Structure 1
Amino acid sequence: MQCPKCGSQSIVKNGHTHSGKQNLKCRDCQRQFVMAPRHQPISQETRELIDRLLAEKISLAGIARSTGVSERWLQYYVNRKLEAVKREVQVKSKKKGKLTIQCDEMWSFVGFKGNKQWIWLAIDVVTKEIVGVYIGKRDETGAHGLWDSLPAVYRQCACSFTDFWSAYQRVFPKKRHQSVGKETGKTSYIERFNNTMRQRISRLVRKTLSFSKKLSNHMVAIWYFIHDYNARLSIE
């Protein structure tokens, strides 16, 4: 027998665990352990795989089955992971100049379909980065939230294309804002991203059993996907 921490063979018996297994103790480093423990430490490779799977349309039960971890440990791990998610966009720094964004809002719900939560989004036409995010009501407050979520350089320089929803016209600067129809193709990137989100986030599928029960969980799941999406763009 060897100590799993220091590799010493100076091992002595040290009573039994609550499950009746023989408890062992290393005389050199004082580490206590059992032989063939039922619960093995989760490797870094498995954790990294779970991080990637969280950005796909897979349930937690499905991730647990695929990776071999327990659902209880996975829920604890995911809760801690999502608590650390920042609720602000992280994009490459841009110089002041000609910038173009497309904006749109998509419908979602929390708990039941009557509790609508609109996801306001803005995408950079050149880099395809998501540069603005707000989750809330589909009114002027939502348009203000989207505008405030944009990095300063976009609020100062960017020209924006949106649909004809009146809230945009009241909030966005008139000289740098244009309302357009879908037939123009000037909102095609953001509309395609809306479809990507519905394909990749099970909570956003219109007819689903995976919808969020809490608004906080709904929001961090969306933010987690957007951070992962932007990070992958920078790698590519």
Structure 2
Amino acid sequence: MEYCKWCGNKSLVKNGRTSKGVQRYKCKSCKGTYRIGDKRIKYGLEKRIKVIKMYLEGIGIRSIERLEEVSSTLIIYWIRHFVELIRKELRNVNIPEKLEDIEILEIDELFTYYKKRKIEPMSGVLLTETGIKFLISK
């Protein structure tokens, strides 16, 4: 009997087939779906938050990749997703109009990474306001 790869429960039911004809399963308890032999890893919210905190503390993307065993591509994806969430939150926050009022904490290797790969450049700065760190990216 197979166990759910997300929660470990035995309550699995068949849930169709993939485009290549491989059987899919669904867990009744956690509603997770997968196929037997699927080796992809699902990272939990705790892992994502830990990676974002490491990035905000100044640890480079490649160092995080090495320490947490998460690909740099996925780390960059998580950072971009986090930036979008912050942008939504910043619409309700008054950002200082003068640059002198903003303390720049870090500009990370994202810009050089994209420049090296000849992809449209992306850079970011961390802004602090009342102890909360914001990552602003263009």
TM-score, scaled relative to structure 2: 0.55
Distance in 2 separating the partners of 1:27 and 1:45: 22
- Pairing 1:120–2:121 present: no
Query: In structure 2, do the counterparts of structure 1 residues 59 and 8 end up closer, same or farther at CA, with 3 Å as the change threshold?
Result: same
Query: In structure 2, do the counterparts of structure 1 residues 55 and 9 end up closer, same or farther at CA, with 3 Å as the change threshold?
Result: closer
* Unpaired segments ≥5 residues, structure 2: 134-138
Please show how residues 1-236 of structure 1 align to structure 2 within 5 Å: 1-3=2-4, 7-12=9-14, 23-26=23-26, 32-35=33-36, 37-85=38-86, 86=90, 120-122=99-101, 133=102, 197=105, 201-203=106-108, 210=109, 212=111, 217-218=122-123, 221-222=124-125, 225-227=126-128, 230-231=131-132
Contact 2:61 2:75 in 1 (8 A): yes
Offset of 1:32 from its aligned partner? 3.9
Contact 1:16 1:23 in 2 (8 A): yes
Q: Secondary structure at the match of 2:100?
A: strand
Query: In structure 2, do the counterparts of structure 1 residues 3 and 231 end up closer, same or farther at CA, with 3 Å as the change threshold?
Result: same
Distance in 1 separating the partners of 2:72 and 2:58: 17
Q: Secondary structure at the match of 2:77?
A: helix
Name whichever structure is richer in helix by fraction.
Answer: 1
Distance in 2 separating the partners of 1:17 and 1:82: 34
Contact 1:58 1:202 in 2 (8 A): no
The code of the aligned residue for 1:226 comes to: L
Deviations 1:113-156 (A, max 9, x none): xxxxxx9333xxxxxxxxxx3xxxxxxxxxxxxxxxxxxxxxxx
Offset of 1:16 from its aligned partner? 6.2
The code of the aligned residue for 1:75 comes to: I
TM-score, scaled relative to structure 1: 0.37
The code of the aligned residue for 1:45 comes to: E
Distance in 1 separating the partners of 2:11 and 2:62: 40
Query: In structure 2, do the counterparts of structure 1 residues 80 and 217 end up closer, same or farther at CA, with 3 Å as the change threshold?
Result: same
Matched-pair identity in %: 13
Distance in 1 separating the partners of 2:100 and 2:18: 57
Offset of 1:11 from its aligned partner? 4.2
How many residues are matched?
Answer: 119
Contact 1:55 1:228 in 2 (8 A): no
Distance in 2 separating the partners of 1:41 and 1:211: 24
The code of the aligned residue for 1:67 comes to: E
Instruction: Kindly name which structure, 1 or 2, has the bigger radius of gyration based on alpha carbons.
Output: 1
Query: In structure 2, do the counterparts of structure 1 residues 211 and 229 end up closer, same or farther at CA, with 3 Å as the change threshold?
Result: farther
* Unpaired segments ≥5 residues, structure 1: 91-118, 123-132, 134-192, 204-209
Give the superposed CA RMSD: 4.3
**Range moving further from structure 2, 41-50 or 65-74:** 65-74
